Structure 1
Amino acid sequence: MKVLKLIWESVRFAFQALRANLTRTILSLLGVTVGIFAIIAVFTLVDSLEKNIKSSLSFLGSNVMTVDKFDYSAGGGPDFPWWVYFRRPNNSYSEYLFLKDNLRNSAGTTLFADANTTVQFGNNSFSGSNVKGVTFSYKDVYDVPIGAGRFFTEIEISGARNVVIIGTKIAQTLFPNQDPLGKEMKIRGQKFFVIGTFEEEGEALFDTPTKDEACMIPFGAFSKIYNVGRYGLGPSIAMKGLDDDTGMIALENEVTGLLRAKRGLKPTQDSNFSLNKSEFIMNTIGSIFDVISGAGWVIGGFSILVGGFGIANIMFVSVKERTNIIGIQKSLGAKNYFILYQFLFEAMFLSLIGGITGIILVYLITFVQLGSLELTLSIKNIILGLGVSSVIGIVSGIVPATLAARLDPVEAIRSA
């Protein structure tokens, strides 16, 4: 209880000192305000940008591995052997069934193919729609958010029926002021019966595909209107990894063994397929933003450093101005730690006020409209800003506070 009382007294003295020199206080906290603003603003921008980009790439799925011709991590440039990948065989429906029946480390296996085309209803048309042909197990691997209507039945998939699920943009364009469910639309001249619509996703940060502009049909129906396997329309096989398979290592090894056996590859032959993980792209994006975050620390760090020196300078001045008062307090029985806390809290509060001001400025920036980029100030960044401010205040004030605490009371009183 005594300790709390002493801390409260120290806090009270610190606030009185800050209020007594208001102009100096404001000028001192400007450096910290700018520093915290710079750091938290960069982190907020980076976090929001990373979140928006990863959201835009949600179509890749989570914990998903795909069998493709090309390797995501192969890179590009003049030395990229694209002809080697291009000559690889396309995935086949029989390979999909083989993996689906034999995989033990997969939570789901599916086959899909897609193409861009124009869809029509009467005189209305929507160009650039992404039409995706899927199997019934597609929903076991990827999220299929249905806003209205339903997903395909197994009979519709196996019977290759002309049924379709469409995005909200397509629904609004083809069927303005109408309920699209139950209506017939055309895809490459073929009539398709609308059985559902996707939930609205909104604008993507970059020009990435969204379900708002997509159509989904059974894979068999897709194969009837497109020559699957030629002209770049080779289907992809996708598997969802188990939760306890970290990095999908077990799944990768199992798929490699099964698919090599299915394609009759000899032990000395290289695999003629690539296994791509959705996490590879996400991790690559994360590493890029880690570099940007590091740059934010450097930019804001210089401002914080200047602010810290400013607070330390003010605290030295404050100790010199109040040397006589320190002597009187000590002569009346004040302990060294009471004087130490008094000046240390003053420095810390000064830095915290600057930090809070910087955070408030960042919060105000989040209201600025930046198109599809939505800025969000996270609790993590608020705590980080307050934590950095506190540390800067303690580091800047510890030396002046220690000198004040060690003053001889007689010498301090004589300095008046």
Structure 2
Amino acid sequence: MIYLRLIAESIRFAWQALRANMLRTLLSLLGVTIGIFAIISVFTLVDSLERNVRDSMSFIGDKVLYVQKWPWSFGGSYPWWKYFQRPEPTVREFRLLDRNLANDAGVALFADKSGSTFKFQSNSFTGAMLMGVTYDYNKVSEIPIEEGRYFVPQEVDASRNVVVIGKEIADALFPNISAVGQEVKVGGQRFRVIGVIEKQGESMFGMPNFDQMGIIPFGSFSKMYDTGPDGVGNAIAIKGRPEDEGLQELEYEVRGMMRNIRGQRPRDDDSFAINRPEMVTQSISGFFDVVGLAGWVIGGFAILVGGFGIANIMFVSVKERTNIIGIQKSLGAKNYFILFQFLFESVFLSVLGGGIGIFLVFLITIIPQDMMKISLSIGNIVLGLGVSAVIGMLSGIIPAVLASNLDPVIAIRSK
């Protein structure tokens, strides 16, 4: 009970000091406000950027390995020109992997062609990506269907001319009618629309997404484009099991089976690449770290200035209330009571400044953004308030100790 009364009195004293010297207090809190605003705004932007990058890459799936000719990153001293000599993954290799792998949750073969044009009557959509997939592609990558349905095995096995299109394509070609059941023309072939994918939103860094994509059976795609070594490159996507942490078992199995299929000797380098979606996020993680560090440095200097400002307020507050401190001590107030009273006041003022900074960040998040959705997480709010509380504690500890050690007789006589 005494601690609640202590906190209530400290907040009341802090509020009185704030009201009595409004301009001085607000100017002193400005440093903490700017510092917390700088740190939390940077962290919020970095978190939002990371989340949007992951969302932009959602079409390549989670816990998936990709067997391809080219690696997604050219690390080490391996001569880049040797990659040209590698063969593309083949339909035969896909079938052998699909039939013999034991640690997978789904295997799919796919190929894509950018710059495709979809047409319906007088409407057209240019710059789309056309992707040919085998049936299990929906196990590798989640395809949220808004209207219609995904392929059935018979459509894929028979290489029928059916297509699932993205939301932007559907809106451009069929602004006033349902797209499902209509016929579109792409690559000189007619396809019947069987499904429309949910809108994904604009992606980061120009990454493709399902909004501007049409998906057809792999056999239909092969009839339109050469998917051999001299044509459109194939890729084999393999979904891992949830219990396979880091997909280590699956990767070992895939590597061993691919080397066996291609007849490679133990000393031979792999004639294929096993790519992971994490490679993309790891390649930009250094950028996120640098931005976060910059936020701490910029905000740290502002918070340091704000801490000195709060310490100045507390020294002045101790000087102005020396007589009251003497009266409190003469009535039996313990040293820790006086100490915590000023310490709580310092923390309250600092948290108030930090709260204003967090509120300014929140105002930024409610501004409509087309490119990237910015949201303030609970973790960043807690971080901002926690840093503010620590700064307030460090700034107020010395004035609080001085106030608690005042002699009551000398303090009462002071004016």
Q: Normalized against structure 1, the TM-score is what?
A: 0.95
Number of aligned positions between the proteins = 414
Q: 1:134 to 1:12 in 2, by over 3 A?
A: same
1:394 corresponds in structure 2 to 393
Partners of 1:298 and 1:142 in 2: CA distance? 40
Q: How many angstroms does 1:29 deviate by?
A: 0.9
Q: 1:152 to 1:339 in 2, by over 3 A?
A: same
Q: How many angstroms does 1:75 deviate by?
A: 4.8
User: Gaps spanning 5+ residues in structure 2: where?
Assistant: none
The percentage of aligned residue pairs carrying the same residue is 57
Letter in 1 for 2:377: S
Q: Deviations over 1:259-285 (max 9, x none)?
A: 100000011211100100112212333
Q: How many angstroms does 1:22 deviate by?
A: 2.5
Task: Map 1:53-64; keep pairs closer than 5 Å.
Answer: 53-64=53-64
Question: What secondary structure sits across from 1:244 in the alignment?
Answer: coil
2:101 corresponds in structure 1 to 103
Q: Which of 71, 82, 85 matches 1:84?
A: 82
Partners of 2:129 and 2:89 in 1: CA distance? 20
1:222 corresponds in structure 2 to 221
2:170 corresponds in structure 1 to 171
1:279 corresponds in structure 2 to 278
User: Gaps spanning 5+ residues in structure 1: where?
Assistant: none
Q: How many angstroms does 1:80 deviate by?
A: 7.4
Q: How many angstroms does 1:232 deviate by?
A: 4.9
Partners of 1:134 and 1:377 in 2: CA distance? 38
Letter in 1 for 2:220: A
Deviates more, 1:50-59 or 1:156-165: 50-59
Partners of 1:6 and 1:218 in 2: CA distance? 72
8 Å Cα contact 1:10-1:339 kept in structure 2: no
Partners of 1:292 and 1:232 in 2: CA distance? 41
8 Å Cα contact 1:328-1:413 kept in structure 2: yes
2:13 corresponds in structure 1 to 13
Letter in 1 for 2:119: Q
Deviates more, 1:164-173 or 1:390-399: 164-173
Q: How many angstroms does 1:414 deviate by?
A: 3.1
Q: Deviations over 1:190-238 (max 9, x none)?
A: 1211111111112223322121111111101111111112445121001
Q: Normalized against structure 2, the TM-score is what?
A: 0.95
2:112 corresponds in structure 1 to 114
Partners of 2:143 and 2:216 in 1: CA distance? 13
Task: Map 1:321-400; keep pairs closer than 5 Å.
Answer: 321-400=320-399
The two structures, once aligned, show a CA RMSD in angstroms of 1.8
8 Å Cα contact 2:14-2:349 kept in structure 1: no
Q: 1:307 to 1:182 in 2, by over 3 A?
A: same
1:23 and 2:32 matched: no
Letter in 1 for 2:97: L
Q: Deviations over 1:94-126 (max 9, x none)?
A: 101111111111111110011022222233322
Partners of 1:216 and 1:139 in 2: CA distance? 11
Q: 1:324 to 1:67 in 2, by over 3 A?
A: same
Task: Map 1:397-408; keep pairs closer than 5 Å.
Answer: 397-408=396-407
8 Å Cα contact 1:149-1:181 kept in structure 2: yes
Q: How many angstroms does 1:176 deviate by?
A: 3.1
Deviates more, 1:172-181 or 1:29-38: 172-181
Partners of 2:91 and 2:162 in 1: CA distance? 20
Letter in 2 for 1:73: S
Letter in 2 for 1:371: D
8 Å Cα contact 1:347-1:393 kept in structure 2: yes
Q: 1:83 to 1:31 in 2, by over 3 A?
A: same
